[in-house]
Structure 1
Amino acid sequence: MANKGKRLRAAYEGVDPTSALDLAEAVKAIKARATAKFDETVEVAMNLGVDPRHADQMVRGVVSLPHGTGKTVRVAVFAKGDKAEEAKAAGADVVGAEDLMQEVQAGTINFDRCIATPDMMGVVGRLGKILGPRGLMPNPKLGTVTPNVTEAITAAKAGQVQFRVEKAGIVHGGVGRVSFSDEQLAENIHAFVDAIIKAKPSGAKGTYVKKISLSSTMGPGLRVNIASVATPV
């Protein structure tokens, strides 16, 4: 723990938590402070002026990052017959129906994204209490309940990120790795922020985007000048 403390203290040197950096400066600073022995994930966190306890202030959706996330995504598909074969051909890691439901009920969840054809929702619906809290429940609004399984699998593996605002009005997501170029990270961050802005709910009042921060897995959080990422709402 002592070494970790020293590394974090060193990472925070020169960081002013009260000031906001332009996006290009923040990306460079995050990469310079990412000193872990693995390829750290870069994450964006946004404080929004919403109260998700109200249905008309919920912020939820998906965004396809232009350069992907740098993460290998394991995809499970609930499907039968021809759609199951299509899912396998499209690169799904796990494909099944009632058998897959039983595996999940038994505690085996070896996937990061779950897709289902509409006819399988009767089966998947029984897993709501298991998949829901993990953010894995298929949802037609997110494109994960669909007859177009090939398209959904391709999008998931290509860097599609799901987002959902938390109780405190914060939404966050991984937007790449520190090994990405500055330009790749900046473009991914722009895409993520723009998606959140476009998802502004009808019930949001006042300032919508209050704060944007950037961090790496083991590094400090840096405030980003909102105007350098997107036009404030």
Structure 2
Amino acid sequence: MAKLGKRTRAAREAVSGKSDVSVEEAVSVIKQNATANFDETVEIAVNLGVDPRHADQMVRGVVGLPNGTGKDVRVAVFARGQKAEEAQEAGADIVGAEDLMETIQGGEINFERCIATPDMMPVVGRLGKILGPRNLMPNPKVGTVTMDVAQAVKDAKAGQVQFKAEKAGVVHAGVGKASFDESKLAENVRAFIAAVNKAKPAGAKGTYVKKISLTSTMGPGVSVDVGNAASEQ
């Protein structure tokens, strides 16, 4: 077994015995142990009692974090004419149509959010096998297929987060930076959990939220009390 570094041992000792704590305590522990020489991302993982392979148990949605993510999100928009101009004015990083499709087909994916006007979906549809696995495919359910491209771009830039359950029924996302105030991080965490609860599918049976954990990019994980996370403070 590889020998653990001093910083890793200290971080693990700090969270030893810390399980099923409140959101606020979890955030405090995560911040104290985010000691890398860069501003670590605080990440949340929510284990759900669903099987995403069944359409009626798929969990997906979008949430505007009240304090943003602390990350500069690059946005690509599929649009033509006036809508393309509106996207550019709103701050989109990449705007195009068939030319953008060809760029993506060539392996260049230099963005974290993809938005499209409805009329562009026949073009975007050709990229399903490329964008789908990366959770970048525009979808009207999360507001990324829309005529109001300007607002969609602004929302993405302001800290809107998309989420989707993976095969094992786990939803995860970045909910801020370790440099954020504890209260702002906790507010973001609770907003994300509330959105996941709101997205509960009709086919979900038994316990919906099974486990919630927080971690930072380089730090250990801390499990959060599910009941506390769902309550308002």
TM bucket normalised to smaller: over 0.9
**Paired residue type of 2:131:** L
Cα deviation digits, residues 16-71 of structure 1 (max 9, x gap): 36731111111110000011000000011111111111111110011100000000
| Structure 1 pair 180–92 and aligned structure 2 pair: CA distance change class (3 A) | same
In structure 2, list runs of 5 or more residues that go unmatched.
none
Give matches, 1:72-91, under 5 Å: 72-91=72-91
Runs of 4 or more above 4 Å deviation: none
Residue pair 1:17, 1:223 contacting (<8 A) in 2 also: no
Residue pair 2:45, 2:213 contacting (<8 A) in 1 also: yes
In structure 1, list runs of 5 or more residues that go unmatched.
none
| Aligned-partner SS, 1:102 | helix
Residue pair 2:18, 2:222 contacting (<8 A) in 1 also: no
| Aligned-partner SS, 1:61 | strand
The corresponding residue for 1:125 is 125
| Aligned-partner SS, 2:230 | coil
Offset of 1:14 from its aligned partner? 3.4
Residue pair 1:75, 1:115 contacting (<8 A) in 2 also: yes
User: CA–CA distance in 1 between the matches of 2:8 and 2:154?
Assistant: 37
- CA RMSD between the two structures: 1.4
User: CA–CA distance in 2 between the matches of 1:15 and 1:149?
Assistant: 44
| Aligned-partner SS, 1:72 | coil
Give matches, 1:11-160, under 5 Å: 11-16=11-16, 19-160=19-160
Identity %: 70
The corresponding residue for 1:209 is 209
The number of equivalent residue pairs is 230
User: CA–CA distance in 2 between the matches of 1:54 and 1:18?
Assistant: 35
| Structure 1 pair 4–109 and aligned structure 2 pair: CA distance change class (3 A) | farther
**Paired residue type of 2:196:** I
Residue pair 2:41, 2:216 contacting (<8 A) in 1 also: yes
Offset of 1:93 from its aligned partner? 0.3
Work out whether 1:182 is the aligned partner of 2:182.
yes
Offset of 1:220 from its aligned partner? 0.4
